[in-house]
Amino acid sequence: MRRTTLLSVVLLGAGWAMQAGALAATPRTVLIGLAAPMSGASGSTGTSLEHAAQLAVDDINHGKPVIGGEPVLFKLLPQDDRADPRTGELVARYFVKSGVAAVVGHWNSGVGIPASRIYAAAGIPHVAPAVTAPDYTRQGYATAFRIVPHDGDGARHTAQYVLHDLKARSIAVIDDRTVFGATYAEEFARAVTRLQGRLAGRYSVSSKTSDFNSILRSIRASDPDVVLFAGLDAQAAQLAQDLRRLQIRARLVGIGGLVGPTFLRLAGPAGEETSVVEPGLPSYKGPQWSHFESAWKARYQDDIYLYAPFAYDAVRVIAAAMREVDSVDPAKVTAALHRIRYRGISGPIAFDAEGNLRDPVFTLYQVQQGRWRVIRSMSDKN
């Protein structure tokens, strides 16, 4: 009886030891928030950001990461910010309460700027795959990073293209009254003035309107060579059709976010010769890109949206910073991001003191025969 009892105790002790070992090997969950508009006019773009971020998380987990001496499992926490500033703030507070280690987001500048204040107060690093308004990093928050160039650089390259390549003598500028559109229009107008170009007029419309008639009557009277529209793809497509309908000969030039299927589908033949300067390389190469491309096609059976690689790289650079400091502590990760040098699928990634992408590259696209065609790449080095 005593031998049986002793054997039971030994077996029970062994069972506890095995259970303790299993618990010790259970990975610690590291939450990464993903905020983007997954409904409404920009829903397809937001969904593509989520898809890319999830691929990045899966790739990291496949490598069985160990941080701080223990196995970790990365998990994406996606949220729809509806391209709405108030909803974006609610999403940011939800991320803080959920204990996310970092955030990838947002898409809209008007959403990302107010949300960044909440992340900064909580000390949570966040890497934006699309927020381009200069004020995003000018606020001075150490936790704010962007993996795309800002509008000041993009607007400058666009102005140079319009004046030097298109040889525009006069330019009409329309913005959609969002933070993104109004900021880009202002930066573009300043660049045109510095380059001694002439502005034929400055106009604003609601981001929700499809009525350009009164503005276009004024534009037709001034007969500009180029119309710069600082707004999103669906509205830009409506403007392209109205320019054609009113027989206004001016070339349409858009801003970042236009390149994709939505503009082509909605604008139809009226979109021909529309040009836009977008962030990033015209094409990606190397084994990292090949892996991403094949994984995307296999899982989603869809074209890769223009900004998807930036969301993928945003997750990967956050994980790289965690590995560098061997910690998921937000303060340590933030410090690591400020000094990191990382090679992503979108190119080299490093941040300046404000959190802006160093040495940004842009690509000029134009609609030709119903498709977006690469014209050339642009940077301060060429």
Q: What is the model's pLDDT at position 303?
A: 86
Q: Scanning the structure block, which residue is given the tokens 């236009």?
A: 258
Alpha-carbon distance values, 15 to 1, 10, 11, 163, 327 (Å): 21, 9, 6, 76, 32
- How many angstroms separate the CA atoms of 28 and 365, rounded? 44
Rounded average pLDDT per 10-residue block, the chain, 382 residues: 41 41 72 96 90 98 96 98 97 98 95 97 97 93 95 93 96 94 95 96 93 94 96 95 95 92 94 94 86 95 90 98 97 98 94 94 95 91 68
> For residues 32 and 100, is the Cβ–Cβ distance under 8 A?
yes
Exposure letters 292-312 (e unless 16+ CB within 10 A, then b): beebbeeebeeebbbbbbbbb
d(CA 283, CA 358): 19
Max Cα–Cα distance, the chain, nearest Å: 106
Which of 364, 41, 314 lies closest to 178 in space, CA to CA?
Answer: 41
pTM of the predicted structure, to 2 decimals: 0.83
Report pLDDT digits (tens) over 152-199: 999 999 999 999 999 999 999 999 999 889 999 999 999 999 999 999
Distances (CA, A) of 6 to 12, 17, 19, 153, 323: 10, 16, 20, 76, 46
Spatial contact of 118 and 96, defined as CB atoms under 8 Å apart: yes
Cα separation, 98 vs 134, whole angstroms: 29
Task: Match 């014209």 to its residue by tokens.
Answer: 375
pLDDT value at position 382?
Answer: 63
Number of alpha carbons in the 13 Å side-chain half-sphere of residue 147: 35
Query: Which tens digit of pLDDT belongs to each residue from 349-369?
Result: 999 999 999 999 999 999 999
Q: Which residues pair with 104 in a beta bridge?
A: 34, 127
Rg of the chain in Å (alpha carbons) = 24
| Strand, helix or coil for residue 310 | helix
| Amino acid letter for position 314 | A
